[in-house]
Amino acid sequence: MANIDLSHHLSAEARLRKPTAMKEIWRLASRKPNMVSLANGDPPNTLYPIKKVLFEIASPWGDDPVAAWKTEGSNTATQVISATRDGPSVLPVKKAMQYTNGAGHVETQKAVSELAHAYHHPPNHVITLTLGNGDAVTKCFRLFGNPGDHFLADEFTFSALVQAAIPQGIKWVPVRMDDGGMLPEQLEKIMVNWDATRGPRPHVLYTIPCGQNPTGSTLSVERRRKIYELAQRFDLIIIEDDPYYFLQFPSNSAADTTFTPSFLSMDVDERVVRVDSFSKVIAPGTRLGWITSSAQFHEQLVALTDASSQHPHAFGQMFLSELLGPEGWQLPGFDKWVRGLGMEYKRRCDFFLDLFAKEVATTGLAEAIAPEAGMFVWTRIHISKHPRYRKSIASSEEVKVPRTNCKQLMEELFDTCLDEGLVVMPASIFKVDSDAQYGDPEDNIEDRLNYFRLTYCGTEEIMTTGLSTLGRALKRFFAD
Amino acid sequence: MANIDLSHHLSAEARLRKPTAMKEIWRLASRKPNMVSLANGDPPNTLYPIKKVLFEIASPWGDDPVAAWKTEGSNTATQVISATRDGPSVLPVKKAMQYTNGAGHVETQKAVSELAHAYHHPPNHVITLTLGNGDAVTKCFRLFGNPGDHFLADEFTFSALVQAAIPQGIKWVPVRMDDGGMLPEQLEKIMVNWDATRGPRPHVLYTIPCGQNPTGSTLSVERRRKIYELAQRFDLIIIEDDPYYFLQFPSNSAADTTFTPSFLSMDVDERVVRVDSFSKVIAPGTRLGWITSSAQFHEQLVALTDASSQHPHAFGQMFLSELLGPEGWQLPGFDKWVRGLGMEYKRRCDFFLDLFAKEVATTGLAEAIAPEAGMFVWTRIHISKHPRYRKSIASSEEVKVPRTNCKQLMEELFDTCLDEGLVVMPASIFKVDSDAQYGDPEDNIEDRLNYFRLTYCGTEEIMTTGLSTLGRALKRFFAD
C-alpha cells in the first residue's frame, strides 16, 4: 500500500459501493476443501457451443514487420494463435467463457501486467483490465467525481470524454498549453489562486501526455516531473490517458525509439491512475485495455466494473493471452511490432509534413507543429493576416468575452474547406469550457481557436489531395 | 414513435447528455459526396495485425444437438465460421475492428434485431447492442434513476444488480411474490397506497419474468397482462431482464417449447425496456447482449454508451454476425439450439427433482418448488417445524421488526450445511430491503427467509452428493 492515504479522493458513490453479498458466500464456502456446491448459477461449460477460437495474425519478426504487413498484406508471413475448449492454451475456451469478477481472468491480467511492468516499472501498482480508454477514463470519473467537483484538463483535449463527465456534475478547469503541451506554471497558477467561492479546489488532473489529442504534443520529462511535483504539493490525482504511448517516433529510420518516462513510472505516492489501450496497437475494435493504479483504486475499479459492465469479454482475453503467450508474439514480439508502428507513423508524418511544406506553408498562412508521437498535426492558421481580422472587439466593460473575431473567421475557413471538398477538425471541437466568470480576460480561448487538427492516418492519396485542397482553401479565404 | 411521450422518465443525467461535438462535424462532412478527410484519427485498417478470426462451433442440426454436444464433445459434428480481413464475411475484420458508435455495427444490429423480432414481434422497437445484462440493466438505472427515486423489484431478486443502483441514490421497493412470481395485487397496493412523504412514487419496475433468479418462478401470461395494465395505469417503465427466456422447458421430452409472451410483445406504449443475453445460450464470456426499447430510449442508451463503455467489442460482433449469418446457424439453427438447451435443462431439473424427492422431501423438512425455466429450484425449508422456532418475538411496540426467529435459524442451517460440506445460496442474499419504517408489520421479509436457492447446473455427481448432504444436514439441524 502507498505511504500516503488517498482514499479521500473517492467519490460519494464509490464509498457507498459494497462488494456483492454473494462474494461473502464464496468466501465462507472456501473455508473447507472439497465443498460441494448447489449454489452457483453458471451454465455448465460442456454446453458452450464453441470448440476453438483461432486468430491468424501478422508475424512481428521481420526487419520492418509493419511495413511488410501493410504493403504485402495477405502474402506476408503470418502466425496462428488459438484457444481450444480444453487447452493446452493459456486460457482454454471452457475457462475463458465462464463468469469471472470485474478484474477478468488472472491469465490475462498476468500477461498485461508483465507488459505494463516492462515499459513503466511502476513502483507498487496493479492492473485492472478495461474495455478500452473510453470505459476506463469514464470509470475513473465515477470513482473520483462528486457533483460540483472541479477537474483539470489540457485546454484542448479529447472532448468526447470531457463531455461525458459533465452530466455527472463535474466542472472542467482548462490548463493553458503551448506547443509542448500543458504548462506546469499555468497549472500552479490555477491551484495557488483558486477562489474558494467557486467550490472545492480541483483534485483530479486528466491529461494525455503523448501525441496529445488534438494538439499532437508530447510532454517533456521535465514538464512531467514539474507536473508530478505540483500534484504532490496540491494533492492531485493524475489520470494519465496514454493511448498513443506506443506510437512514439524513433529518432531516425531505425526502430530506436526511446519511450518517454510516463507519470506512472515516477509515481511514488500512487496518485497516478494510468490508462492504456490496444486500440492503436492492435485495432480499435479490440475494446480491451488496462488501468495501472494503486491496489486501493484497483479494488474500487473492480467493484464498479462488477456493478456495471461486468468482466471483460472472453474473446479479447483469449486473444491477448495467446498473443502475449508462448505461441504468440510474447513481449519481444510485441515490442518489435510497436517499434515498427512508431516507424510507420513517423514515415506517414514525414510524408505529411513534406507535403505541408510545399502545399500549405508556402502560402504563408499556416504552419504545422511537428509531433513526436501519435496521429495528429496541430496546424496553426495565421488568422491575424486575414483582412477582416479584428482585435479588441469587446468593450472594456466586457473583459471576459473574446477580444477578437478569431472564432468567427475560423468557422468561415472551416466552411470554405468544406466547400472545396475537405473535412478538417476545428479547434473549437476540442476546447474545454471553463466557468465563464472565471475565465482569464487577457487570454480568452476563443481568441486562440486558430488551429485545425489534421491527421496522417489516411492514404498518401488522401494526404496529397487533402493538403493541396487546404492550400487552395486558405488562399481563397484570405484573399476575401 | 410512441403515441405516449415517456421522456419525463429520463434522469437528470440523461437529459444533460449531449451528442459529441464531433458528430456534428461528420454530419456537415456528409453534405457533399467525395469529401476528402484529414479529420478522422483512426488507425489505418491496413495496420491491424489480424488476418482472420475463426470459430469452430457446435452443429445445431441433429435430433438433440445439445445432448450430442455435451456427451460426445469434440467428436460431434462441428461447423466453422470465420471473418477474414477483406471478406467475404458478414463483417470483415477490417470493418469490424474500426471505431463505431455505441450502437455497434449495423450488420450485427441487423442480425440481432431479426432474432429479437422472430421471438417477440415488438410493435415498434429498436435494438441496442450491450455488453451483457449487467451492463444493460445498470445503464437503464442511469437512464431512468435520479437520486431519491424509488424503483420496484421482485422482493427476492438478483441482488448484485439491485445493489449496483444504491450508490446512485436509488431506493428499492420490494413487491411481494408467491410461487408464481410477483403478485400484481401487491404491486397495485403499493402504488395506490403510496405515501407521498416517502418521496416520488416509483416510476420504474425491474423484474426477471422467466426462471427468475433466485426463485425460479415464471410469470404467467395473465400476471404479465395485469402487471402491464398496472404499468399503464401508474405510468411505470418496465425493465424486463430476461436472461433465462431461451431456457424455458418443453412440456414433454420433445423440443415443443411454447415461449411465454414477453412484456415486450404486449408493449403498445413503448414503456418496456427489454434486456436479453447470450450468456446462457452461448456462454457468459460472450459479453454481448441487447436491449429492445423505443427509439427514444435507444438514442439515450447509445449516447450513454458513447460516453462510457463505447461500442461493443469487434470479436463478439464478428462471432454473432457469422453465427446468425449464411455460413452459421442462422435463425432456424439458433432456434434448434435453444430448444435443445431447454430440453437439456429440463432433463437436469427432472433429475434434480427426482433426487430431491428421495433425499430431501422424505425428511418432511423441505419442499422444492418446480420451475418451468432457467437454472434454479427455490427450496422452501419448513422452518416452523424446528424445535427452537419462535413466533411473536417482537413486542407490540415494535411492529416493524421480524416476528419470528426465522432469519437466525436459517443462518444456523446454512452453517450446518457448510459443516457438512455443502454450499447453498441463502434467501437472505437475494432479499430487497425496503425503507424500514415503511415495511409491512404483518409481513416482514425476515420472517420469510426460509428458502435456499439450489441449482441443477452442476454434474449429476454434484447433484447426488449435494442433495444427500442437504437431507443429512436438515435431519441433523432439526433434531437439535
Which pLDDT score, from 0 to 100, does residue B438 have?
A: 73
- Region B243-264: mean pLDDT is 91
- pLDDT band, residue A449 (cuts 50/70/90): very high
Mean pLDDT in chain A? 93
Give the CA distances from residue B46 to residues A251, A283, A461, B311, B319, in Å, rounded to whole numbers and listed in that order: 24, 10, 15, 21, 21
Report pLDDT digits (tens) over B372-415: 999 999 999 999 999 999 987 655 555 567 889 999 999 999 99
Residue from the list B13, B57, B341 with its beta carbon closest to the beta carbon of A50: B57
Single out the residue of A324, A124, A122 nearest to residue A242, CA to CA.
A122
C-alpha cell at A60: 512481428
- Across the interface, whether the CB atoms of A283 and B422 are under 8 A apart is answered no
Residue from the list B22, B314, B454 with its beta carbon closest to the beta carbon of A160: B22
> Which of the residues A38, A107, A429, A452 would you substitute to probe the B interface, choosing the one with the greatest number of B C-beta atoms within 10 Å?
A38
Q: Which residue of B has its CA nearest to A19?
A: B160
- pLDDT band, residue A383 (cuts 50/70/90): very high
Q: Which residue of B has its CA nearest to A213?
A: B41
CA separation for the pair A84, B167 (Å, rounded)? 40
Chain position carrying cell 455505441: B102
Report pLDDT digits (tens) over A240-262: 999 999 999 999 877 788 999 99
Report pLDDT digits (tens) over A63-92: 899 999 998 766 788 999 999 999 899 999
Which pLDDT score, from 0 to 100, does residue A300 have?
A: 96
Report pLDDT digits (tens) over A263-286: 999 999 999 999 999 999 999 999
State the CB neighbour count (10 A cutoff) for residue A389: 16
- Region B233-260: mean pLDDT is 93
- d(CA A88, nearest CA chain B) in Å: 14
Looking at chain A, the whole-number percentage of residues with pLDDT higher than 90 is: 84
Report pLDDT digits (tens) over B284-324: 999 999 999 999 999 999 999 999 999 999 999 999 999 99
Which pLDDT score, from 0 to 100, does residue A154 have?
A: 98
- Across the interface, whether the CB atoms of B97 and A286 are under 8 A apart is answered yes
Report pLDDT digits (tens) over B323-360: 999 999 999 999 999 999 999 999 999 999 999 999 99
Contact B361, B368 (CB under 8 A): yes
Q: Which residue of A has its CA nearest to B12?
A: A167
- Region A229-244: mean pLDDT is 98
B441 pLDDT exceeds 80? Answer: no
Residue B459 three-state SS: coil
Residue from the list A46, A54, A309 with its beta carbon closest to the beta carbon of B131: A309
B33 pLDDT exceeds 90? Answer: no
Total residue count of chain B as it appears in this document: 480
**Letter string b/e over residues B316-331, b meaning 16 or more CB atoms within 10 A of that residue's CB:** bbbbbbbbbbeebbbe
- Region A121-149: mean pLDDT is 95
Query: Could you report how far apart the first and last alpha carbons of chain A are, in Å?
Result: 63
State the CB neighbour count (10 A cutoff) for residue B480: 11
Which pLDDT score, from 0 to 100, does residue A397 have?
A: 56
Report pLDDT digits (tens) over B123-170: 789 999 999 999 999 999 999 999 999 999 999 999 999 999 999 999
Please, how many CA atoms are within 13 Å of residue B60, restricted to the half-sphere of its CB?
Answer: 23
Tell me: ipTM over 0.90: yes
**Letter string b/e over residues B260-280, b meaning 16 or more CB atoms within 10 A of that residue's CB:** bebbbbbbebbbbbbbbbbbb
Residue A303 C-alpha from the chain's centroid: 23
The kind and range of the H/E element at B11 are none
Residues of A with CB below 8 A from B470's CB?
A: 38
Chain position carrying cell 418451468: B372
Report pLDDT digits (tens) over A394-416: 555 555 678 899 999 999 999 99
- pLDDT band, residue B1 (cuts 50/70/90): very low
B32 pLDDT exceeds 90? Answer: no
Residue from the list B48, B70, B135 with its beta carbon closest to the beta carbon of A283: B48
B228 pLDDT exceeds 50? Answer: yes
Mean pLDDT in chain B? 93
A1 pLDDT exceeds 60? Answer: no
Query: What DSSP state is assigned to residue A450?
Result: -
Which pLDDT score, from 0 to 100, does residue A401 have?
A: 76
Q: Which residue of B has its CA nearest to A419?
A: B32
